[in-house]
Chain A
Amino acid sequence: SQQGEEDPQALSIQEGENATMNCSYKTSINNLQWYRQNSGRGLVHLILIRSNEREKHSGRLRVTLDTSKKSSSLLITASRAADTASYFCATAQNTGTASKLTFGTGTRLQVTL
């Protein structure tokens, strides 16, 4: 079952605009991560935010985490055509042996010129 659910499922914007994607999850987490997937390719890790953090920045990416609401958002500022991809949130739960990631179904972002 999906732990993270992204919203919206699809988003279309013009180059230069900001894109915001949201993720909700159900159980407690150790950290939350965002990944990008270009069509036909593997996933690329973008950013990780720990459960005791509220906001994190990396270049044009800004991630927020609200553990009381069990939600996170990913903001991509000044989007580019190259940002066109699917974006997934993934929640990490530590077990006795590993940290397992559970992925949502993703947001498909289309950035047009």
Chain B
Amino acid sequence: DAGITQSPRHKVTETGTPVTLRCHQTENHRYMYWYRQDPGHGLRLIHYSYGVKDTDKGEVSDGYSVSRSKTEDFLLTLESATSSQTSVYFCAISVDRAHGYTFGSGTRLTVV
């Protein structure tokens, strides 16, 4: 998707290991978001950022942490991966509160 990339696209990891997903944007948008998508649940907000070093929790933040040290990068860390964190993770960006989001292509994470 133009202006926003997620890495890696796929990852398999073992239970108990830390995992970091990266979201990179070239749009200079202020707001960045991490969602997870699971069957039957739609998309649920994990964490979001409203500026460099400014982050807040979303609906399902337990077990996750984030960091944003520069405008273009928003990192999501699973501190100790569990099987319940197997999911597809989407990053999104928005320029302000009055516009829609632009989503990345997603990271499919499998915790075994």
Contact = CB atoms under 8 A, between A and B. Distances in A.
B27 to A, nearest CB: 13
B94 A99 contact: yes
Contact of A44 (B35, B56, B103): B103
Interface residues of A, number: 26
Nearest to B56: A97
5 contacts: A42-B103, A99-B97, A100-B33, A100-B48, A104-B42
Interface residues of B, number: 30
A42 B1 contact: yes
A4 B73 CA distance: 29
Nearest to A6: B42
Contact of A2 (B42, B97, B98): B42
Interface in A84-113: 88, 92, 94-95, 97-106
A81 interface: no
Interface string A63-95: 000000000000000000000000010001011
Nearest to A86: B42
Contacts of A88: 42-43
A88 B92 CA distance: 15
B41 A45 contact: no
Interface of A is mostly: strand
Interface in B27-83: 31, 33, 35, 40-45, 48, 50, 54, 56, 58-59
A90 B103 CA distance: 13
A105 B58 contact: no
Given A30-B97, A100-B48, A45 B42 contact: no
Nearest to B6: A42
Contact of A101 (B1, B45, B105): B45
B43 A103 contact: yes
A43 B54 CA distance: 25
A31 interface: yes
Given A98-B56, A99-B94, A106-B42, A42 B106 contact: yes
